[in-house]
Chain A
Amino acid sequence: MEPSIGFHPVNRIPEPDTASSQVPYLILRGVTKRFPLVLANDHIDLDIFQGEIHALLGENGAGKSTLMKIMYGFYRADAGVMNVNGQPVEIHSPAEARKFGIGMLFQDFSLIPAMSVAENIALFLEDLKMVVDIRQVDKRIQELAVRYHLQVRSQIKVSELSIGEQQKVEILKLLLSGAKILILDEPTRVLAPHEVAALFKVLDNLRASGYAIILITHKLKEVLDCADRITILRGGCVTGSLLRSEASEKKLLDLMFGKEMPGLSTQRRAAGKDRLDPVLELRDVETHGEGAETSLKEINLKIFPGEIVGVAGISGNGQKELGDLVLGMISCARGEKLLFGKEATQISIREVRRQGVAFIPENPLVMATIPWMTVLENLALTRPWRYAIRGGLSVNWGSVKKDVQAGLEKMAYKLPLYAPARSLSGGNLQRMVIIRELGLDPRFIIASYMTRGLDVQSTIAARQALLDARQAGAGVLLISEDLEEIFTLSDRLIVLYGGRIVGEFVPEETDIYQVGYLMTGSSSENGATH
């Protein structure tokens, strides 16, 4: 094989290469990275061979992302060496990483929606000429696409592609730029079940052609489904590196957490509660979406006390709007909204909040947090009337703190109360919002992507808190992309597609494939999303 693919990476599809897989293509030794207060990576050793899918498993904060960012040149390691294809290297930037054949697929894609697939890919090519020959680029795309089952319509705009197709484009981009190591950061997070299956098939093909694939994830099932080797990180250290044949779910969990995990008590709700008034009722509601918003159409929904209703759907099919509609951010263009049996179509968000509605939004940083305020101040925001003293002239921070500490104890979370919210990691932000919203016995909870970004322990605590709230008689609207979560927690589930409810099930009477197909609009004709 070539000594260094880095300096003429273009126009070449890496040759199938299985003979050399005895020597690791990428070697990390003693990689250490310290952030203030935190040792993110502590002497990490890692070997990546060609022709393997190497899963990097660990809870949030275990140091997976930091390690990947070091490999891809975002961060520089404080200590340690890196060796690509037998040569010691130092990588200072993503551009250099690409020269060494390292490509990364991010959680949030980096495609330009207004441009066509081929143009997007052309942008990424290093040998792009002054005059762009899109046809030639297209030819190269098709060549690769056929070989690895990555067929996409390369002439249409990216904005018209589904998330799964966009991911294919991202992978094509990396392949065409000559990457030999593909780093995939939680690639299945945004995919429906059958799309996940398709992605794994693509990965299989790539592996067979000698590509090295690093799969970052915290989903055990996926790891066991497709990885050849599994490296587990905990607290910045490697706690184990196993072959697939040696791994079992139990073993992986032990390595990830080092202790027994608490289980989830998921008893179904008691029957006969339907006779109570619903906590939320939407009657024939429609909204007019502005800009990128999805318009909701013909929404009829009842949620009863002590019931969790799951909302399945791919992002952008009206889940955000449904949550905002119930909260009052979006007004009904038609139809009626009733909360706790009373007309609530027009009332203000503050009134909705006062009645005991909690809201955990899909994006805690943008939708629920004031970045420059401290955590404690953020925690007081939802119920300022509760903490105001002397008619509002002062705020009783002692009582805020008492509430917060009770919440933290209940969930076994920890938060720095006086740090500005913007300094928190994604997981901690989510914890902050959960503590704020689930404290003080809400009567109705809108939870969007509640466990996104949380590690397994925090996830279990958050889910348990939802179940406890249900037990206490609260209604829950659970919006999630994680079908497993919806199937585990929901008493009833609906599927949103293109702003409509396209299916309603009891979890026991359906399966993830039926729901997954509905989510992608496969058995529905209402394809319009705007």
Chain B
Amino acid sequence: MAQPTETPKRKTFMGQKTITAALRYILMLLLSLVLFGIILALAGKNPIQATIDIFRSTLGSSYGISEVIVAMVPMVITAVAVAIPSRAGLINVGVEGQLYMGACLATWGALTFTQLPAWALLPLLIALGMLGGAFWAFIPGFLKAIGLVNETITSLLLNLVAVNITAFLIFGFWHGPMDTNKTASFIPAARLPTFFGTRIDLSLVFALALLWLFWYLMKYSRWGLEIRAIGGNPQAARRNGIPLKAYQVTLMSLGGAIAGIAGMSLVSGYYGLLLANFSTGYGYMGFLISWLSFGNPVGILLVSFLVAMITTGGNLLQLTQGVPYAVINILLALSLYIVMARPKFFKEAKQ
């Protein structure tokens, strides 16, 4: 075929495309709400009232919004922890475990260095959290790079190990004098500062900074170029001299380090102590969000906000509608299926 030699302009339909994409997501959301409503109606509840309840309890008050943000922050961080390795084609299902390991190491720091002031202790805890997560992700990354085991399997299995190591440390060594399943509360210097008298803490800044960093590195840096090349075609990337294995190990560890930040900020911010089984599946939720938003930084923020809204609103739904919390999982699952199916609402002009 004759080759088109004209250079197409770089961003001709960018604006239009963004609007179309946004509309599509809104319609997908509506579709899942409608399906959810049908299920509620079948259960004899009032679907319209339920929807109103969800929105009112979350977006209706400043307290509601702050609670949504509190729930959103760890999701954003764990989603970035999945998205970074995924750009190079690595599937990191181990964020949950990396988060636990980060939390463990941070807790050790918080319990050990009680003499340090906050300005020295907090950075140290962050570093320890990153170290713990990075170590836990290094294992699958390294095994993948030497061609031994697929990182999906190892990272997933290591989740269980990490949860049990955490329990072992708490039950065996760290539990407080009055408890068996959690440590004593951290000293104030080991707590992340909060804002505006709400439960929102410094980890919101971490989350936004990480998102920006992720976006910038992927889009503009030389490493981003090389990482995307590996994700696009590993064979060609290798032949071009890009050190594939080094990137695999580094990116997995980096994802783990970020997951470790999430773990650190949960124990040092939200909880203020380490609790056995403290994470309610944040790692898996981050995985879901990362794939739902196709690794797009803005998408991660929006999807995290939505998921956080649904989960916080769902708590209230139990009270007002008398439905079990499980229906929230139904709503999440419906949204997931609909996004994955990627329905087309508009006829797209063929390229």
Identify the A interface with B (CB < 8 A): 35-40, 61-63, 65-66, 235-236, 327, 329, 348-350, 352-354, 359, 361, 366-373, 377, 380-382, 384-385, 387-388, 392-395, 414-419, 423-425, 427-428
Contact = CB atoms under 8 A, between A and B. Distances in A.
B282 to A, nearest CB: 30
B4 A38 contact: yes
A425 B3 contact: yes
Interface string B224-247: 011011001101111111110000
B347 interface: no
Contacts of A416: 4-8
Contact of A367 (B10, B226, B236): B236
Contacts of B222: 384-385, 387-388, 392-395
Contacts of B2: 38-40, 61-63, 235-236
Contacts of A36: 350-351
Interface residues of B, number: 31
Contacts of B3: 38, 61, 414, 424-425, 427-428
A395 B218 CA distance: 11
A355 to B, nearest CB: 10
A381 B223 contact: no
Of B1, B3, B8, B9, which is in contact with the most chain A CB atoms at under 10 Å from its CB?
Answer: B1
B216 to A, nearest CB: 8
> Closest 9 interchain pairs by CB?
A370-B232, A353-B241, A388-B222, A37-B4, A350-B241, A392-B222, A414-B5, A61-B2, A38-B2
B5 A63 contact: no
Contact of A350 (B4, B228, B232, B243): B243
A350 B8 contact: no
Given A366-B233, A372-B232, A384-B226, A348 B5 contact: no
Nearest to A348: B243
Nearest to B9: A418
A370 B237 contact: yes
Interface in B296-351: 350-351
A359 B242 CA distance: 14
B196 interface: no
Given A36-B351, A370-B232, A384 B10 contact: no
B229 A373 contact: yes
A329 B221 contact: no
B220 interface: yes
B232 A371 contact: yes
Contacts of B7: 416-419
Contacts, number: 119
A368 B240 contact: yes
B6 A381 contact: no
Contacts of B4: 37-38, 416, 419
Of B2, B8, B220, B226, which is in contact with the most chain A CB atoms at under 10 Å from its CB?
Answer: B2
B8 A418 contact: yes
Contacts of A40: 1-2
25 contacts: A36-B351, A38-B1, A38-B3, A38-B4, A61-B1, A61-B3, A235-B2, A349-B243, A366-B233, A366-B236, A367-B235, A367-B239, A370-B237, A372-B228, A377-B229, A381-B226, A384-B222, A392-B223, A394-B221, A414-B3, A416-B5, A418-B8, A419-B7, A423-B351, A425-B1
B232 A352 contact: no
B10 A373 contact: no
Contacts of A394: 220-222
Contacts of B232: 370-373
Given A380-B225, A381-B229, A418-B10, 16 more contacts: A36-B350, A38-B4, A40-B1, A63-B2, A66-B1, A235-B2, A349-B241, A353-B240, A366-B233, A366-B236, A369-B233, A371-B233, A392-B223, A393-B221, A418-B8, A425-B3
Nearest to A364: B236
Interface of B: 1-10, 220-223, 225-226, 228-229, 232-233, 235-243, 350-351
Contacts of B9: 418
B244 to A, nearest CB: 9
A368 B242 contact: no
Contacts of B233: 366, 369-371
A424 B8 CA distance: 13
A252 to B, nearest CB: 20
B1 A350 contact: no
Nearest to A361: B239
Contacts of A417: 7
Contacts of B240: 349, 353, 368, 381-382
A20 B289 CA distance: 69
A35 B241 contact: no
Given A61-B3, A63-B2, A382-B241, A370 B220 contact: no
Nearest to A428: B3
A329 B221 CA distance: 26
A387 B10 CA distance: 20
A419 B182 CA distance: 56
A197 to B, nearest CB: 32
A373 B228 contact: yes
Contact of B228 (A66, A370, A419): A370
Given A353-B241, A370-B233, A37 B221 contact: no
A37 B228 contact: no
Contacts of A359: 239
A424 B2 CA distance: 10
Contacts of A424: 3
A68 to B, nearest CB: 12
Nearest to A40: B1
A419 B240 CA distance: 20
A350 B237 CA distance: 10
Nearest to B244: A349
B220 A395 contact: yes
A370 B236 contact: yes
